[in-house]
Structure 1
Amino acid sequence: MDSENLYYFEKAPVTKAVAHFAVPMMLGTSMNVIYSILNAYFLGTLHNTAMLTALALTLPLFAILMALGNLIGMGSGTFISRLLGEKRTDEVKHVSSFAFYSSLVLGLIVTAAGLPLIDSIVHGLGATPDSFGYTKDYVTVMLIGSPFVVLFFTLENIVRSEGAAVTSMIGMMLSVVVNIILDALVIFVFHWDVIGVASATVISNLVASVYYAFHMGQKSQFLTVSIRWFKASKDILGNVFKIGVPVFIMSIFLGAMSLIFNHYLVVYGDSAVAAYGISSRLLQFPEFILMGLCEGVVPLIAFSFTADRLRMKHTTLFTIKTIVALAAVFGLIVYLVSDHLISLFTNDPQLIEMGSYILHVTFLSLFITGMTTLFTGIFQATAQGTAAFIMSVIQGVTLIPVLYLANQTNGFHGVVWSLVIADAVAFLVGAVMLYALRNKLQPELESLVQ
């Protein structure tokens, strides 16, 4: 680890250290949301609701690919940060090489397994007759590009784990810029609609992955992509999967929840699915800002857990205060201009009304989801595998029965409100577990949760 990164891990004031790790991540994740929003915007210019519906229906597939990347990336990344805190720098090369090649293999498996089942996958995503062809086009391209998408999410975590937050941000922004440029070309110049948007996403992930691999191979002191450092020892597998599997399950549950949610919304028409697709992309912006904050401090928390636990407490407290402030600001903005935000994507009055309503409801849980993400990050950083696993399943386990009951009793409104209820339950469970683990994590954390 170079001296600058070591300074931010060990000696910088907590506010400065959190800013160093979190701000680049927040900027990077916000840029990712921007290009997700722009995907919908570019397709929206074609005034084809079926295309917007296809884009919404394919969110679960993207969630699965992200889950595979985070399975290796988050598990390896938190392990690398703890190893650096323990000064076990030689082991870091083995872990980083393992992460690189394992993620490529996982992506290839998805391609080989998914393409023969393409029609079944599209039907399973809930495509209607109008949106089936567009959905199939998007899914086909994403399956072919799976290795690059999985690799991107893995390497972003690995680079960030050694403290190279700015490098991580540059890679994410590079992906976004390439994607935006390609989106404009494929929609307005080549007229490739959904196929073009999906191809732009894959290519942008490939470009960013090459950038990360270059950093790991040529710039980083301890990370590597060399196959000769590849090692799959029991220690590496245990530490990676102890955290990676809960992260994977959480992402799968998010994808499954999105899939189930879409199936309930389809009953209320393509407009309901499209409205949710637009509003969820807008909600992603503040959610990913908070996620960037919470995930950005994970390496700092992991390092401090093995090196300086009082610093870990101060980092957590400052992060909580920042979550409160950001949630308040974003909530106020949305309640003032929600209709105008939705109208950027469509001129359909029904879509605008439904999308604005969904935004108002789901923004109620913004602070809750921020805190839930922080709880999960603490459990991941401190290698609390059981707690991380519980956090990975609790929201999905809660949402399914709540969604069924809410739909039966309150129809469309109940479906929308079920998301807030599931978020609240996950928050309460996380808070209880943090309190129960306070002495195991460190005596100083007791004051945090009392």
Structure 2
Amino acid sequence: MAKVSSDQLGTEPIGKLLIKQAVPASIGILVMSLNVLVDSIFVGNWIGSIAIAAINVVLPVSFFIAALGMAIGIGGSSIISRALGAENKEKALKTFGNQITLTLLVTISMVALGLYFVDDLIPAFGGKGTIFEPAKIYYTIILYGVPFLALCMMGNTVIRAEGKPKFAMIAMIIPSVGNLLMDYIFIYVFDWGMHGAAWATTVGYLLCFGYIFYFFLSKNSELKISLSHFGMNMPILKEIGSLGFVTLARQAVTSITYLLMNNILFNLGGEAMVAVYAIIGRMLMFALFPVFGVTQGFLPIAGFNYGALKYDRVKESIYTAIKYAALVATLVFIGLMVFPEAITSLFLSSREDLPAEELIANAFVLEHAPTAMRWVFAATPIIALQLIGAAYFQAVGKAIPALLLTLTRQGFFFIPLVLILPCFLGELGVWISFPIADVLATIVTGIYLRKEIRGLD
């Protein structure tokens, strides 16, 4: 693989550069999303739909701890991109060392707490009834691998900040492929059930960590840190924290959303309704992969050029990213509106010898999920502006507007809506909360972003 310099972020044409950054990011996110999707299909077909619901209960806890690594990664990577743009390599090195130290301290502490409170956390996130036992099995095993996942997510953002999107893509592909191979061996061949699903995912995390560790030791990375860079530097930690808190707050709100949704839907329709949301959640991760890819590709370009005071290139990157992301979001929207029944069927076993409760749950899911999917993705064509707008403020180090815009959709709009509307509209109230929140958040982001762009003139 050819050696790439971060300087190209400030010299290549924006359109070409965004494609170069976004395509590997999209491929990486696609493979990760396919991993989650196919993993759920395997679990649904080989274990059952209740197992899908059990995994959905565990995700917010494990994802929140892993998101600590992503928060530290994105917060620090914004500093690294701007430092490299300003030719301050020592600050970039110190930031990276502090990211590693902080990730280890925080995630190991959170894992210890997560294991101690396991019996309280799982029911709180909707793991009730027949969901509890498989959820506890999956949760306990997964948590041991989460620190490695956090380090992977942190390291991946740093690789991208260096302008090395192909290496970042490979780092995202490795755990996904590893997980699917282990799924087949542990679940299908060895018949380990939920234990197999959990160990397959954990092995994937370890493989990813091994690759990222190799990358930073190799000549491909510009960031060659020494022991002195691991020492805590309070100004850098404060900046990492303020910017990383944006990502952490987003994941915290996502975890709260899962908690609310799992409990609200359990009360409306039991375990099968939680399984419906589990399928919708998988599609939210999978279907929007190209939009998230454009957003990830946009971050280092905006941060580097802002640090280099090339504001015309910053503005051009905003407009180009929104245009590309809106185009792919519209294509995703069309596919989801046309094929929701076929998509839902992929997650359900066609075997007729399943236990009666599984057959009943499958029938319920097949009846309810397609309509829910259409409502949830109804505003997809306009979300590009909201995602790129929030990402811009994070990329350029403006923590407060980045935090506010990140929390706008789920925190300020979706959570109040999903608490209120189901009281009057039942199940429909849950699903229509999604597009209403998308529209309102996009309007607010558009106002903020327009004002910021004018200030770059």
**TM-score tier (shorter):** over 0.9
**Structure 1 position 350 matched with structure 2 position 352:** no
Q: Does 1:364 align with 2:389?
A: no
Q: 1:448 corresponds to which residue? A: none
Q: Superposed, which structure 2 residues align to 1:40-439 within 5 Å?
A: 40-46=40-46, 48-224=48-224, 226-267=226-267, 268-307=269-308, 308-346=310-348, 347=350, 348-394=362-408, 395-439=410-454
1:224 deviation in Å? 3.7
Counterpart check, 1:9 vs 2:9 = yes
Deviation, structure 1 residue 179: 0.9
* Deviation, structure 1 residue 113: 1.2
Residue type of the alignment partner of 2:414: L
Counterpart AA for 1:277: A
> Helix, strand or coil for the counterpart of 1:12?
coil
Report Cα offsets for 1:302-357 as digits up to 9, x if no partner.
00112211111111111111122111211111222211111111143321221111
Counterpart secondary structure, 1:58: helix
Identity fraction in percent: 25
Shift in CA distance, 317/439, structure 1 to aligned 2, threshold 3 Å: closer
Paired letter, 1:291: F
| More displaced stretch, 246-255 vs 349-358 | 349-358
The letter of the residue matching 1:250 is: R
Describe the shift of the 1:370–1:65 C-alpha distance in structure 2 as closer, same or farther (beyond 3 A). farther
Task: Determine the structure 2 residue equivalent to 1:447.
Answer: none
CA distance in 2, matches of 1:68, 1:225: 22
What is the aligned partner in structure 1 of residue 354 from structure 2? none
Q: Does the aligned pair in 2 maintain the 1:106–1:147 contact within 8 Å? A: no
Higher mean alpha-carbon deviation, 416-425 vs 21-30, is at 416-425
CA distance in 2, matches of 1:57, 1:421: 25
Q: Distance in 2 between matches of 1:435 and 1:330?
A: 26
Instruction: Report how far residue 8 of structure 1 moved.
Output: 3.0
* Cα distance in structure 1, aligned partners of 2:70 and 2:123: 26
Deviation for aligned residue 1:45: 1.3
Q: Is the 8 A contact 2:131 2:271 kept in 1?
A: no
8 Å CA contact 2:51, 2:194 repeated in 1: yes
For the structure 1 residues 26 and 162, does the alpha-carbon distance in structure 2 shift closer, same or farther, using more than 3 Å as the test?
Answer: same
Within 1, Cα distance between the matches of 2:20 and 2:225? Answer: 25
On the 8 A contact 2:4/2:164 being kept in 1, the answer is: no
TM, length-normalised to structure 2: 0.92
Is the CA contact 1:63–1:252 (under 8 Å) kept in the aligned structure 2?
Answer: no
Take 1:62 and 1:357, find their aligned partners in 2: how far apart are those partners? 29
Question: Aligned partners of 2:221 and 2:89: how far apart in 1?
Answer: 9
Q: Which stretch of the first structure deviates more once superposed, 226-235 or 274-283?
A: 226-235
Deviation at 1:126?
A: 1.2
How far 1:61 moved relative to its partner? 1.4
In the alignment, residue 26 of structure 2 is paired with which amino acid?
Answer: M
C-alpha deviations, 1:68-89, integer Å up to 9, x for none? 0122100011110000100001
Tell which deviates more after alignment, 274-283 or 26-35.
274-283
Q: How far apart, CA to CA, are the structure 2 residues paired with 1:44 and 1:85?
A: 47
Distance 1:3 1:183, change over 3 A: closer
The answer to whether the Cα contact below 8 Å between 1:141 and 1:198 also exists between their aligned partners in 2 is yes
1:225 and 1:353, CA in 2 relative to 1: closer, same or farther beyond 3 A?
Answer: farther
Answer yes or no: is the 8 Å Cα contact 1:247–1:388 preserved in 2.
Answer: no
CA contact (8 A) 1:89 1:222 kept: no
- Structure 2: which amino acid aligns with 1:428? I
Give the Cα–Cα distance (whole angstroms) in 1 for the partners of residues 234 and 103 of structure 2: 18
Going from structure 1 to structure 2, the CA distance change for 1:54 and 1:430 (only over 3 Å counts) comes to same
Gaps of 5+ in 2: 351-361
RMSD of the TM alignment (CA)?
1.7
The range that moved more, 39-48 or 83-92, is 39-48
Are the counterparts in 2 of residues 75 and 239 from structure 1 also a CA contact under 8 Å? yes
- The separation in 2 between residues aligned to 1:66 and 1:288, in whole angstroms, is 19
- Provide, for residues 34-80 of structure 1, a one-character-per-residue CA deviation record: whole Å limited to 9, x for no partner: 01011111111135232111012122113302320122100011110
Which amino acid letter does the alignment assign opposite residue 302 of structure 2? I
Q: CA deviation at 1:370?
A: 2.8
Q: Return structure 1 stretches of 4+ with deviation > 4 angstroms.
A: none
Write the deviation string for residues 87-131 of structure 1: whole angstroms up to 9, x where unpaired. Answer: 001221111111122212222112211111110111111112201
Q: Which SS does the other structure have where 1:4 is aligned?
A: coil
